[in-house]
Amino acid sequence: MDFDFTEEEKVFRKEVDEFVREELPPDWDVKTSYWPAGYGTLAQMETEFADYASEFHRKIGKKGWLSCGWPKEYGGMNSWVKNAIVDEVMSYHRAPYGGVATWISGPTIIEVGSESMKKEWLPKIANGEATFWLGYSEPNAGSDLGSLKTRAVKNGDEFIVNGQKTWGTGAHVTDYCWLLAKTDPSARKHGSATLMIVDNKTPGIDIRPIENILGIHSFNEVFFDDVRVPEENVVGEINRGFYNVMLALQYERLIMGMGAFRRVLEELIRYVKETEYNGQLLKDDPLVRNKIASIAIEIEVIYSFYWRTAWAMDQGKFSETEASVFKLFGTELSVKIACTAMEILGLYGQLERGSKWAPLLDGWASIGYLDAISGPIGAGTSEVQRDIIAIRGLGLPRD
């Protein structure tokens, strides 16, 4: 066993860290508010930061850091550990980079895309020139994705898409939809859908904002009204959409914003070392010490899952069950940390960004308290993860 990075990985990590520190504006920390494992406050999904995010994302692309995990033949570094290093450092600094294109679309195209699709899309994705939003969920197809209703009907060398997608995180600031639509309504659930790429600018697409509980426009409901999609935009085989969605799950699982866990712990430690309450520093209160130690230990656990998952992917030993545990545990830990932060901050915790007296990077904890709710819901709820782990991982009977 060896829990350490290689020397090369250490050098790489330092290079990424130095680059990001140099690049980001000095007031970035208090302008943005990313909370670990949350969906509501990703800077790159907010209109306010869209131009800057797009520029930053391309810079990272030029460095080759959007595609570290891809095979070398497609311009990658063949290292998911390096990919995980990049994401850890980026999320520590809340850097606006990455997304559906690099984590899901790219790897899926590599696995099942045609040669011409690979040639057309992979360089654009790796360079940060094509960004995507995820067109899976619908108003009546959430955890039960199999019951989706959006239809794509073959018409000559096109598909005509009609239906409604929801959540659509970042649909308003990205270029393309990574769409899952029903192509064979007569087939059993999982043989009935197809993945395809749809340009957001296609006539018939109507993107309407959904404001999340933080008041941020991150989600959208998106209507497709006779939207024409060229056949060459189909990803993988027709009617194999569900299987192709599952393929990308392993890559998607690593997206947790790991560095933000480390960051929130550091900020809390800094806060209790500097803040007096009832005439003593918070850090000398045994209860505060116990609470911080408790989350520090759980953060160590989530990191252990993170590096193991990345390492296992590089070894071709990816375990879906362990990755599900990682997702389940990390998102629930995010909630626990938010609650612990609020408990430690006391009355001041409720002060929101911009308020007089707002503590901890100008009201970060109150943002986290709201945002953390999203983690255990998005990308497969905690309940769905628990089902997967019990049935597929532990071999428990379905009925």
Q: How far is the CB of 357 from other proteins (least distance, A)?
A: 23
Q: How far is the CB of 285 from other proteins (least distance, A)?
A: 10
CB of 178 to other proteins, least distance (A): 29
Cβ pair 220, 209 in contact under 8 A: yes
Rounded distance, CA 241 to CA 148, Å? 12
Separation between Cα atoms, residue 201 and residue 206, nearest integer Å: 9
β-bridge mates for residue 397, sequence order: none
Minimum Å distance from CB 235 to other proteins? 32
Query: Which DSSP symbol is given to 392?
Result: I
Q: Rounded to an integer, what distance in angstroms lies between the CA atom of residue 59 and that of residue 127?
A: 8
Quick check: 39 and 159 in contact, CB under 8 A?
no
Strand 176-182, strand 132-135: pairing: parallel
What letters, b where the CB count within 10 A reaches 16 and e where it falls short, cover 214-253?
A: bebbbbbbbbbeebebeeebbbbebbbbbebbebbbbbbb
Is the distance from CB of 208 to CB of 220 less than 8 angstroms?
A: yes
Beta-strand runs (E) in 166-304? 176-182, 193-199, 205-211, 217-230, 234-235, 276-277, 280-281
What does the block give as tokens for 312?
Answer: 């296992």
195 versus 335: smaller Cβ distance to other proteins = 335
Which one, 82 or 182, has the nearer CB to other proteins? 82
Pick between residue 177 and residue 288 the one whose CB is nearest to other proteins. 288
Classified as helix, coil or strand, 70 is coil
Minimum Å gap between C-beta 138 and other proteins is 24
Q: Between 215 and 286, whose beta carbon lies closer to other proteins?
A: 286
- Contact positions vs other proteins (CB under 8 A): 1-6, 81, 269, 272-273, 283, 286, 288-290, 292-294, 296-298, 300-301, 304-305, 307-308, 311-312, 322, 325, 328-329, 383, 385-387, 389-391, 393-399
Shortest distance (Å) from residue 281 CB to other proteins: 9
The torsion angles phi and psi of 179, rounded to 5 degrees, stand at -100, 135
The nearest distance, CB 135 to other proteins, in angstroms, is 29
Give the list of residues 6+ apart from residue 191 with CB closer than 8 angstroms, or none: 184, 239, 240, 242
Whose Cβ is closer to other proteins: residue 234's or residue 333's? 333
- Cβ atoms 162, 118 nearer than 8 A: no
Shortest Å, Cβ 280 to other proteins: 13
CB of 159 to other proteins, least distance (A): 38
Nearer to other proteins, 75 or 393 (CB): 393
Query: Which of 347/394 has CB closer to other proteins?
Result: 394
Q: Which is nearer to other proteins, 207 or 312 (CB)?
A: 312
Q: At 77, is the secondary structure helix, strand, or coil?
A: coil
Q: What is the closest distance, in whole angstroms, from the C-beta atom of residue 18 to other proteins in the complex?
A: 22
Closest CA to 211 of 197, 225, 221: 221
Residue 25 or 397: which CB sits closer to other proteins?
Answer: 397
Query: Do residues 103 and 254 touch, judged by C-beta distance below 8 A?
Result: yes
Nearer CB in complex with other proteins: 366/385: 385
Rounded distance, CA 219 to CA 378, Å? 12
